[in-house]
Structure 1
Amino acid sequence: MLAAQRVLPVLRNTDADEAVRDTTALLAAGCRAVELTTSTPGWAAAVTRTAALRDVHGRPALIGVGTVTTTAQADTALDAGAAFLISPYPAPEVRAVAVRREALFIEGGFTPGEIAAAVRAAGAAKVFPAHAVGPGFLRSLRAVLPAAVIIPTGGIRPAEVPEWLAAGATAVGIGGGLPTDPAELADVFAPVADASGGPHDAAAER
Protein backbone atom coordinates (compact mmCIF):
# COMPACT_ATOMS: atom_id res chain seq x y z
CA MET A 1 0.00 0.00 0.00
CA LEU A 2 2.83 2.41 0.81
CA ALA A 3 4.47 1.63 -2.53
CA ALA A 4 1.23 2.55 -4.31
CA GLN A 5 0.79 5.72 -2.26
CA ARG A 6 4.44 6.77 -2.82
CA VAL A 7 4.29 9.65 -0.32
CA LEU A 8 3.84 9.20 3.44
CA PRO A 9 2.76 12.49 5.04
CA VAL A 10 4.39 13.11 8.42
CA LEU A 11 2.31 15.50 10.50
CA ARG A 12 3.75 17.57 13.34
CA ASN A 13 0.88 19.71 14.53
CA THR A 14 0.24 22.27 17.24
CA ASP A 15 -2.60 20.24 18.75
CA ALA A 16 -4.87 17.25 18.20
CA ASP A 17 -7.59 19.27 16.44
CA GLU A 18 -5.14 20.49 13.82
CA ALA A 19 -3.85 16.94 13.32
CA VAL A 20 -7.41 15.71 12.73
CA ARG A 21 -8.10 18.51 10.24
CA ASP A 22 -4.91 17.86 8.30
CA THR A 23 -5.48 14.11 8.26
CA THR A 24 -9.06 14.57 7.07
CA ALA A 25 -7.84 16.73 4.18
CA LEU A 26 -5.24 14.11 3.22
CA LEU A 27 -7.80 11.30 3.26
CA ALA A 28 -10.13 13.36 1.07
CA ALA A 29 -7.26 13.86 -1.38
CA GLY A 30 -6.75 10.13 -1.92
CA CYS A 31 -4.17 9.45 0.78
CA ARG A 32 -4.81 6.45 3.03
CA ALA A 33 -1.75 6.14 5.30
CA VAL A 34 -0.76 9.12 7.44
CA GLU A 35 1.94 9.37 10.10
CA LEU A 36 1.12 11.42 13.18
CA THR A 37 3.91 12.07 15.64
CA THR A 38 4.40 12.02 19.40
CA SER A 39 5.64 15.62 19.22
CA THR A 40 2.04 16.80 18.71
CA PRO A 41 0.32 17.70 22.01
CA GLY A 42 -2.59 15.32 22.52
CA TRP A 43 -1.30 12.96 19.84
CA ALA A 44 -2.93 9.85 21.33
CA ALA A 45 -6.38 11.46 21.14
CA ALA A 46 -5.66 12.49 17.55
CA VAL A 47 -4.79 8.89 16.68
CA THR A 48 -8.05 7.62 18.17
CA ARG A 49 -10.09 10.19 16.29
CA THR A 50 -8.39 9.71 12.92
CA ALA A 51 -8.14 5.91 13.07
CA ALA A 52 -11.94 5.83 12.86
CA LEU A 53 -11.95 7.78 9.57
CA ARG A 54 -12.06 6.46 5.99
CA ASP A 55 -10.32 7.62 2.86
CA VAL A 56 -12.02 8.97 -0.25
CA HIS A 57 -12.50 5.39 -1.52
CA GLY A 58 -14.23 4.27 1.67
CA ARG A 59 -11.26 2.29 3.03
CA PRO A 60 -10.30 2.53 6.71
CA ALA A 61 -7.56 5.06 7.32
CA LEU A 62 -4.16 3.66 8.29
CA ILE A 63 -2.85 5.99 10.97
CA GLY A 64 0.72 5.46 12.05
CA VAL A 65 2.60 7.09 14.89
CA GLY A 66 6.12 8.35 14.38
CA THR A 67 8.86 9.53 16.74
CA VAL A 68 8.05 6.54 18.93
CA THR A 69 11.09 5.86 21.09
CA THR A 70 9.80 4.34 24.35
CA THR A 71 7.78 1.35 25.47
CA ALA A 72 5.11 3.64 26.93
CA GLN A 73 4.70 5.55 23.67
CA ALA A 74 4.47 2.33 21.68
CA ASP A 75 1.79 0.83 23.92
CA THR A 76 -0.16 4.10 24.03
CA ALA A 77 -0.08 4.42 20.24
CA LEU A 78 -1.33 0.89 19.67
CA ASP A 79 -4.00 1.26 22.36
CA ALA A 80 -5.18 4.41 20.57
CA GLY A 81 -5.61 2.51 17.30
CA ALA A 82 -2.33 3.06 15.46
CA ALA A 83 -1.86 0.85 12.41
CA PHE A 84 1.92 1.07 12.55
CA LEU A 85 4.80 2.53 14.56
CA ILE A 86 7.87 4.42 13.32
CA SER A 87 11.01 5.43 15.20
CA PRO A 88 13.61 7.99 14.07
CA TYR A 89 16.53 5.78 15.15
CA PRO A 90 17.14 2.24 16.45
CA ALA A 91 14.68 1.59 19.28
CA PRO A 92 14.90 -2.01 20.54
CA GLU A 93 12.35 -1.34 23.28
CA VAL A 94 9.78 -0.28 20.67
CA ARG A 95 10.67 -3.29 18.55
CA ALA A 96 9.96 -5.53 21.55
CA VAL A 97 6.48 -4.04 21.95
CA ALA A 98 5.79 -4.46 18.25
CA VAL A 99 6.81 -8.12 18.38
CA ARG A 100 4.76 -8.76 21.52
CA ARG A 101 1.68 -7.10 20.09
CA GLU A 102 2.20 -8.26 16.50
CA ALA A 103 2.30 -4.70 15.20
CA LEU A 104 4.05 -3.27 12.16
CA PHE A 105 7.18 -1.34 13.14
CA ILE A 106 9.32 0.70 10.74
CA GLU A 107 12.55 1.29 12.61
CA GLY A 108 14.76 4.26 11.86
CA GLY A 109 18.42 4.07 10.96
CA PHE A 110 21.14 6.17 9.38
CA THR A 111 24.14 3.91 8.86
CA PRO A 112 24.04 0.86 6.58
CA GLY A 113 24.38 -1.35 9.66
CA GLU A 114 21.43 0.26 11.43
CA ILE A 115 19.25 0.08 8.33
CA ALA A 116 20.18 -3.55 7.65
CA ALA A 117 19.40 -4.47 11.28
CA ALA A 118 15.97 -2.87 11.02
CA VAL A 119 15.27 -4.73 7.79
CA ARG A 120 16.38 -8.03 9.32
CA ALA A 121 14.07 -7.47 12.28
CA ALA A 122 10.92 -6.49 10.40
CA GLY A 123 11.64 -6.19 6.68
CA ALA A 124 11.28 -2.41 6.75
CA ALA A 125 13.42 0.58 7.66
CA LYS A 126 13.22 4.35 7.74
CA VAL A 127 16.32 6.24 6.55
CA PHE A 128 16.66 9.38 8.68
CA PRO A 129 17.71 12.13 8.15
CA ALA A 130 17.61 11.31 4.46
CA HIS A 131 18.58 14.77 3.18
CA ALA A 132 22.00 14.35 4.77
CA VAL A 133 22.93 11.45 2.48
CA GLY A 134 20.87 11.88 -0.70
CA PRO A 135 19.35 9.42 -3.20
CA GLY A 136 22.74 8.00 -4.15
CA PHE A 137 23.05 6.52 -0.67
CA LEU A 138 19.72 4.77 -1.07
CA ARG A 139 20.73 3.45 -4.46
CA SER A 140 23.77 1.82 -2.85
CA LEU A 141 21.63 0.34 -0.08
CA ARG A 142 19.32 -1.20 -2.66
CA ALA A 143 22.24 -3.13 -4.10
CA VAL A 144 22.55 -5.11 -0.85
CA LEU A 145 18.93 -4.88 0.39
CA PRO A 146 16.95 -5.41 -2.83
CA ALA A 147 13.73 -6.66 -1.22
CA ALA A 148 13.56 -4.31 1.76
CA VAL A 149 10.82 -1.75 2.39
CA ILE A 150 12.80 1.48 2.74
CA ILE A 151 11.26 4.86 3.50
CA PRO A 152 13.63 7.86 3.40
CA THR A 153 12.41 10.74 5.56
CA GLY A 154 13.74 14.06 6.74
CA GLY A 155 14.35 17.24 4.79
CA ILE A 156 12.88 15.93 1.53
CA ARG A 157 10.74 18.34 -0.48
CA PRO A 158 7.79 17.13 -2.59
CA ALA A 159 9.58 18.01 -5.85
CA GLU A 160 12.41 15.64 -4.86
CA VAL A 161 10.15 12.61 -4.40
CA PRO A 162 10.56 11.22 -7.98
CA GLU A 163 14.35 11.15 -7.59
CA TRP A 164 14.09 9.18 -4.35
CA LEU A 165 11.60 6.76 -5.85
CA ALA A 166 13.89 6.22 -8.82
CA ALA A 167 16.71 5.46 -6.37
CA GLY A 168 14.65 2.67 -4.83
CA ALA A 169 12.48 4.18 -2.10
CA THR A 170 9.31 2.23 -1.37
CA ALA A 171 7.71 5.52 -0.33
CA VAL A 172 9.02 8.89 0.80
CA GLY A 173 8.20 10.56 4.10
CA ILE A 174 7.29 14.23 3.67
CA GLY A 175 7.08 16.47 6.72
CA GLY A 176 6.33 19.75 4.97
CA GLY A 177 5.71 21.42 1.66
CA LEU A 178 2.64 19.46 0.59
CA PRO A 179 0.11 21.68 -1.21
CA THR A 180 -2.88 22.97 0.71
CA ASP A 181 -5.10 23.38 -2.35
CA PRO A 182 -7.39 20.30 -2.46
CA ALA A 183 -6.95 19.72 -6.21
CA GLU A 184 -3.16 20.02 -6.03
CA LEU A 185 -3.06 17.74 -3.01
CA ALA A 186 -5.17 15.16 -4.87
CA ASP A 187 -2.61 15.20 -7.70
CA VAL A 188 0.08 14.08 -5.23
CA PHE A 189 -1.87 10.91 -4.43
CA ALA A 190 -3.31 10.22 -7.89
CA PRO A 191 -2.60 6.68 -9.20
CA VAL A 192 0.43 6.41 -11.44
CA ALA A 193 -0.30 5.16 -14.96
CA ASP A 194 1.90 2.37 -16.27
CA ALA A 195 3.27 2.13 -19.79
CA SER A 196 0.03 0.59 -21.07
CA GLY A 197 -1.91 3.61 -19.89
CA GLY A 198 -3.63 1.86 -17.01
CA PRO A 199 -3.22 2.45 -13.29
CA HIS A 200 -0.03 0.99 -11.88
CA ASP A 201 -0.60 -0.96 -8.68
CA ALA A 202 2.82 -0.96 -7.09
CA ALA A 203 1.45 -2.49 -3.91
CA ALA A 204 0.45 -5.66 -5.73
CA GLU A 205 4.02 -6.12 -6.87
CA ARG A 206 5.19 -6.26 -3.29
Structure 2
Amino acid sequence: MDATHPLVPALRAQRLLPVLRSPDPASAVARVRALLAAGCRVVELTTSTPGWAGALADCRGEHGDGALLGVGTVTRAEQATAAVEAGADFLVSPFPAPPVREVAARAGVPFVEGGFTPAEIADAAGRGPAKVFPAHVGGPRYLASLRAVLPDAVLVPTGGISVAEAPAYLDAGAVAVGIGSGLPAEPEALARVFGGGGAA
Protein backbone atom coordinates (compact mmCIF):
# COMPACT_ATOMS: atom_id res chain seq x y z
CA MET A 1 0.00 0.00 0.00
CA ASP A 2 1.18 3.50 -0.86
CA ALA A 3 2.43 5.02 2.39
CA THR A 4 1.02 8.40 1.34
CA HIS A 5 -2.55 7.15 0.92
CA PRO A 6 -4.91 8.90 3.37
CA LEU A 7 -6.81 5.75 4.40
CA VAL A 8 -4.85 4.81 7.52
CA PRO A 9 -4.66 8.36 8.96
CA ALA A 10 -8.38 8.75 8.29
CA LEU A 11 -9.20 5.47 10.03
CA ARG A 12 -6.98 6.38 12.94
CA ALA A 13 -8.78 9.69 13.34
CA GLN A 14 -12.29 8.31 12.87
CA ARG A 15 -11.83 5.15 14.99
CA LEU A 16 -15.13 3.61 13.87
CA LEU A 17 -15.64 2.29 10.33
CA PRO A 18 -19.30 1.96 9.33
CA VAL A 19 -19.88 -1.24 7.33
CA LEU A 20 -23.13 -0.83 5.40
CA ARG A 21 -25.27 -3.81 4.46
CA SER A 22 -28.28 -2.07 2.97
CA PRO A 23 -31.45 -3.61 1.50
CA ASP A 24 -31.21 -1.61 -1.72
CA PRO A 25 -29.05 1.02 -3.47
CA ALA A 26 -31.23 3.97 -2.43
CA SER A 27 -30.91 3.00 1.23
CA ALA A 28 -27.13 2.74 0.88
CA VAL A 29 -26.86 6.17 -0.74
CA ALA A 30 -29.09 7.72 1.93
CA ARG A 31 -27.07 6.11 4.72
CA VAL A 32 -23.80 7.36 3.28
CA ARG A 33 -25.28 10.83 2.98
CA ALA A 34 -26.35 10.77 6.63
CA LEU A 35 -22.97 9.49 7.82
CA LEU A 36 -21.05 12.17 5.94
CA ALA A 37 -23.38 14.88 7.21
CA ALA A 38 -22.64 13.64 10.75
CA GLY A 39 -18.90 14.09 10.29
CA CYS A 40 -17.92 10.59 9.15
CA ARG A 41 -15.30 10.56 6.38
CA VAL A 42 -14.61 6.85 5.76
CA VAL A 43 -17.46 4.49 4.87
CA GLU A 44 -17.50 0.89 3.68
CA LEU A 45 -20.32 -0.30 1.46
CA THR A 46 -20.56 -4.05 0.89
CA THR A 47 -21.23 -6.37 -2.03
CA SER A 48 -24.13 -7.85 -0.05
CA THR A 49 -26.15 -4.74 -0.96
CA PRO A 50 -28.11 -5.29 -4.19
CA GLY A 51 -26.84 -2.89 -6.83
CA TRP A 52 -23.86 -1.94 -4.69
CA ALA A 53 -21.70 -0.78 -7.63
CA GLY A 54 -24.37 1.67 -8.76
CA ALA A 55 -24.82 2.90 -5.20
CA LEU A 56 -21.09 3.51 -4.91
CA ALA A 57 -21.00 5.37 -8.22
CA ASP A 58 -23.95 7.53 -7.11
CA CYS A 59 -22.21 8.30 -3.81
CA ARG A 60 -19.00 9.17 -5.62
CA GLY A 61 -20.88 11.48 -7.97
CA GLU A 62 -22.70 13.15 -5.09
CA HIS A 63 -19.75 13.60 -2.75
CA GLY A 64 -16.76 13.76 -5.10
CA ASP A 65 -13.47 13.43 -3.25
CA GLY A 66 -14.96 14.58 0.05
CA ALA A 67 -15.00 11.09 1.50
CA LEU A 68 -13.12 7.80 1.39
CA LEU A 69 -15.62 5.26 0.10
CA GLY A 70 -14.69 1.60 0.11
CA VAL A 71 -16.28 -1.71 -0.78
CA GLY A 72 -16.25 -4.68 1.58
CA THR A 73 -17.02 -8.40 1.27
CA VAL A 74 -14.96 -8.36 -1.91
CA THR A 75 -13.84 -11.93 -2.50
CA ARG A 76 -13.55 -12.25 -6.30
CA ALA A 77 -11.51 -10.46 -8.94
CA GLU A 78 -14.60 -9.39 -10.88
CA GLN A 79 -16.04 -7.74 -7.77
CA ALA A 80 -12.77 -5.92 -7.18
CA THR A 81 -12.67 -4.69 -10.78
CA ALA A 82 -16.28 -3.47 -10.59
CA ALA A 83 -15.57 -1.67 -7.31
CA VAL A 84 -12.51 0.10 -8.71
CA GLU A 85 -14.43 1.12 -11.83
CA ALA A 86 -17.25 2.51 -9.65
CA GLY A 87 -14.78 4.69 -7.75
CA ALA A 88 -13.81 2.70 -4.64
CA ASP A 89 -11.02 4.26 -2.58
CA PHE A 90 -10.27 0.94 -0.87
CA LEU A 91 -11.33 -2.71 -0.90
CA VAL A 92 -11.99 -5.03 2.04
CA SER A 93 -12.26 -8.83 2.22
CA PRO A 94 -13.36 -11.04 5.12
CA PHE A 95 -10.58 -13.60 4.48
CA PRO A 96 -7.39 -13.97 2.40
CA ALA A 97 -8.28 -13.22 -1.22
CA PRO A 98 -5.26 -13.29 -3.59
CA PRO A 99 -7.34 -12.49 -6.72
CA VAL A 100 -8.65 -9.31 -5.08
CA ARG A 101 -5.14 -8.50 -3.92
CA GLU A 102 -3.90 -8.61 -7.51
CA VAL A 103 -6.63 -6.30 -8.81
CA ALA A 104 -6.06 -3.83 -5.98
CA ALA A 105 -2.31 -3.80 -6.57
CA ARG A 106 -2.71 -3.13 -10.31
CA ALA A 107 -5.18 -0.32 -9.61
CA GLY A 108 -3.13 1.22 -6.80
CA VAL A 109 -6.09 0.89 -4.41
CA PRO A 110 -5.51 -0.08 -0.75
CA PHE A 111 -6.73 -3.55 0.17
CA VAL A 112 -7.74 -4.29 3.76
CA GLU A 113 -7.36 -8.05 3.63
CA GLY A 114 -9.13 -10.18 6.19
CA GLY A 115 -7.89 -13.02 8.33
CA PHE A 116 -8.34 -14.58 11.72
CA THR A 117 -5.28 -16.69 12.50
CA PRO A 118 -2.01 -15.00 13.46
CA ALA A 119 -0.44 -16.27 10.23
CA GLU A 120 -3.22 -14.83 8.06
CA ILE A 121 -3.19 -11.51 9.85
CA ALA A 122 0.60 -11.21 9.80
CA ASP A 123 0.60 -11.91 6.06
CA ALA A 124 -2.06 -9.29 5.35
CA ALA A 125 -0.49 -6.74 7.69
CA GLY A 126 2.77 -7.03 5.79
CA ARG A 127 1.07 -5.35 2.83
CA GLY A 128 -1.26 -2.86 4.53
CA PRO A 129 -4.16 -2.69 6.99
CA ALA A 130 -5.48 -6.08 8.09
CA LYS A 131 -9.09 -6.87 8.96
CA VAL A 132 -9.47 -9.21 11.95
CA PHE A 133 -12.63 -11.20 11.26
CA PRO A 134 -14.78 -12.40 12.95
CA ALA A 135 -13.38 -10.31 15.79
CA HIS A 136 -16.03 -11.14 18.38
CA VAL A 137 -14.83 -14.75 18.48
CA GLY A 138 -11.52 -13.76 20.03
CA GLY A 139 -12.57 -10.49 21.59
CA PRO A 140 -10.29 -7.66 22.77
CA ARG A 141 -7.91 -10.07 24.55
CA TYR A 142 -7.22 -11.87 21.27
CA LEU A 143 -6.57 -8.55 19.57
CA ALA A 144 -4.16 -7.58 22.34
CA SER A 145 -2.31 -10.86 21.84
CA LEU A 146 -2.01 -10.15 18.12
CA ARG A 147 -0.75 -6.65 18.86
CA ALA A 148 1.93 -8.08 21.16
CA VAL A 149 3.50 -10.08 18.31
CA LEU A 150 2.61 -7.63 15.52
CA PRO A 151 3.30 -4.26 17.16
CA ASP A 152 3.39 -2.32 13.89
CA ALA A 153 0.34 -3.89 12.28
CA VAL A 154 -2.67 -1.75 11.36
CA LEU A 155 -5.53 -3.88 12.69
CA VAL A 156 -9.22 -3.29 12.00
CA PRO A 157 -11.34 -5.80 13.97
CA THR A 158 -14.80 -6.30 12.50
CA GLY A 159 -17.69 -8.67 13.08
CA GLY A 160 -20.11 -8.81 15.98
CA ILE A 161 -18.82 -5.64 17.66
CA SER A 162 -21.28 -3.09 19.03
CA VAL A 163 -20.59 0.62 19.38
CA ALA A 164 -20.46 0.16 23.16
CA GLU A 165 -17.82 -2.58 22.81
CA ALA A 166 -15.62 -0.63 20.41
CA PRO A 167 -13.56 1.21 23.07
CA ALA A 168 -12.29 -2.11 24.46
CA TYR A 169 -10.94 -3.07 21.02
CA LEU A 170 -9.39 0.36 20.55
CA ASP A 171 -7.71 0.05 23.95
CA ALA A 172 -6.42 -3.38 22.88
CA GLY A 173 -4.65 -1.86 19.89
CA ALA A 174 -7.14 -1.53 17.04
CA VAL A 175 -6.56 1.42 14.71
CA ALA A 176 -10.29 1.44 13.99
CA VAL A 177 -13.25 -0.86 14.59
CA GLY A 178 -15.67 -1.99 11.91
CA ILE A 179 -19.30 -1.58 12.98
CA GLY A 180 -21.89 -3.37 10.87
CA SER A 181 -24.98 -2.52 12.89
CA GLY A 182 -26.05 -0.53 15.89
CA LEU A 183 -25.02 2.93 14.73
CA PRO A 184 -27.73 5.44 15.64
CA ALA A 185 -30.05 6.61 12.88
CA GLU A 186 -30.94 9.96 14.44
CA PRO A 187 -28.81 12.79 13.00
CA GLU A 188 -27.93 14.30 16.38
CA ALA A 189 -26.90 10.96 17.88
CA LEU A 190 -24.89 10.09 14.80
CA ALA A 191 -23.13 13.44 14.98
CA ARG A 192 -22.16 12.71 18.59
CA VAL A 193 -20.47 9.50 17.39
CA PHE A 194 -18.57 10.99 14.46
CA GLY A 195 -18.40 14.70 15.17
CA GLY A 196 -15.80 14.07 17.84
CA GLY A 197 -13.81 11.49 15.90
CA GLY A 198 -15.62 8.32 16.89
CA ALA A 199 -15.52 6.28 20.07
CA ALA A 200 -13.45 7.69 22.90
CA contact (8 A) 2:110 2:128 kept: no
**What residue is the counterpart of 1:191 in the other structure?**
196
Aligned-residue CA RMSD (Å): 1.4
1:29 paired with 2:38, answer yes
Cα deviation code 1:40-81 (max 9, x no counterpart) = 0000001101123449xxx61111000000000000000000
Query: Displaced runs of 4+ in structure 1, greater than 2 A?
Result: 52-55
Matching residue's letter, 2:75: T
Which residue, 25, 30, 45 being the options, matches 2:54? 45
Once the 2 structures are TM-superposed, how far is the Cα of residue 147 of structure 1 from its aligned partner?
A: 1.6
Q: 1:40 is paired with a residue of what secondary structure?
A: coil
Cα deviation code 1:180-203 (max 9, x no counterpart) = 1111111111335xxxxxxx9xxx
CA contact (8 A) 1:52 1:61 kept: no
What is the TM-score with the length of structure 2 in the denominator?
Answer: 0.91
Distance (whole Å) between structure 2 residues aligned to residue 119 and residue 53 of structure 1? 32
Which residue, 59, 68, 72 being the options, matches 1:62? 68
Task: Flag structure 1 segments of 5+ consecutive residues without an equivalent.
Answer: 193-199, 201-206
Distance (whole Å) between structure 2 residues aligned to residue 123 and residue 87 of structure 1? 13
**What residue is the counterpart of 1:115 in the other structure?**
121
What is the TM-score with the length of structure 1 in the denominator?
Answer: 0.89
Matching residue's letter, 1:13: S
Q: What is the correspondence of 1:165-176 to structure 2 with a 5 Å cutoff?
A: 165-176=170-181
**What residue is the counterpart of 1:124 in the other structure?**
129
Aligned length: 189
Q: 1:35 is paired with a residue of what secondary structure?
A: strand
Matching residue's letter, 1:163: A
CA contact (8 A) 1:51 1:62 kept: no
**What residue is the counterpart of 1:139 in the other structure?**
144
Q: 2:53 is paired with a residue of what secondary structure?
A: helix
Between the aligned residues of both structures, percent identity stands at 60
Matching residue's letter, 2:184: P
Task: Flag structure 2 segments of 5+ consecutive residues without an equivalent.
Answer: 1-9
Once the 2 structures are TM-superposed, how far is the Cα of residue 148 of structure 1 from its aligned partner?
A: 1.4
The structure number with the bigger radius of gyration is 1
